[in-house]
Amino acid sequence: MSAIAPAKRASTQKAANVRRALFVEAYLTNGMNATKAAIACGLSRKTATSSGERMLRRPDVSAMVAERARTIVTEARLSTERWVRELASIAHFDPGELYRPDGTLILLRELPERVRRAIASVEPASHGGVKIKFWDKLAALDKIGKHLGLLKGDDQQKVEPIHVTVSFVGKVNGPAQYQTPASRTARISDGL
């Protein structure tokens, strides 16, 4: 019996290691959902929520998740800078960059890389040419704005509008002045 027990324990430990590795991969590919990862690695559906939470609390599993995530980021060359550059390529794309000065379309392979990044797809068109679809410029600008803190949830960045009332009594000598609700004096140019 003593010869069988260590072999069984080793086999059980090997199975547990495989299950943990499967959990880590499933967790990182499903949007970090521990319940779905527990089910994907073969744990019971009935107890998947608690099993997934237990797995994440294990120091060895949380270390595996962190290490695997670092590896993925490194191998895919993912970074905040690259993400922002990609969005900037879309946000700052100018369709005029697709054409030569004489008005002819530049071949796709000859376009600068930053211009190609703004292209979502290229399909054959019915007239024999190509149909080029671009990534959503407004969505890219929105994401950049949120990343920079320019856009907050529920439009918290909006401020009370300034209402200006200008009253003229007689001739204005020099620049006119007006009062804002915040009692700040502003100047209107001499062009009045």
pLDDT digits (tens, 9 = 90+) for 6-44: 656 667 888 889 999 999 999 999 989 999 999 999 999
Query: pLDDT at residue 111 above 70?
Result: yes
Number of H helices, E strands in the chain: 7, 4
Q: Map out the domains of the chain with their CATH numbers.
A: 4-75 (1.10.10.1400), 80-139 (no CATH), 159-192 (no CATH)
Look at residue 176 and tell me whether its pLDDT is greater than 60: no
Query: Out of 81-85, 108-112, 179-183, which region has the weakest mean confidence (pLDDT)?
Result: 179-183
Q: What percent of the chain has pLDDT over 70?
A: 73
pTM for this one? Answer: 0.48
User: Taking Cα atoms as reference points, which of 43, 44, 42, 37 lies closest to residue 64?
Assistant: 37
Per the CB < 8 A criterion, the answer to whether 145 and 151 are in contact is yes
Query: For residue 33, what are its two tokens?
Result: 């959902």
Phi/psi at 29 (nearest 5 deg)? Answer: -95, -10
Q: How far apart are CA 50 and CA 35, in angstroms?
A: 8
Angle between helices 59-75 and 4-29 (to 10 degrees): 50
How far apart are the C-alpha atoms of 29 and 113, rounded to whole Å?
Answer: 28
Residue 101, both tokens? 């000065």
Contact 49, 42 (CB under 8 A): no
pLDDT at 149 over 60: yes
Number of Cβ within 10 Å of residue 114's Cβ equals 15
Average pLDDT for 75-87: 83
Residue 132 has pLDDT above 50, yes or no: yes
Rounded to the nearest integer, the mean pLDDT of the chain is 79
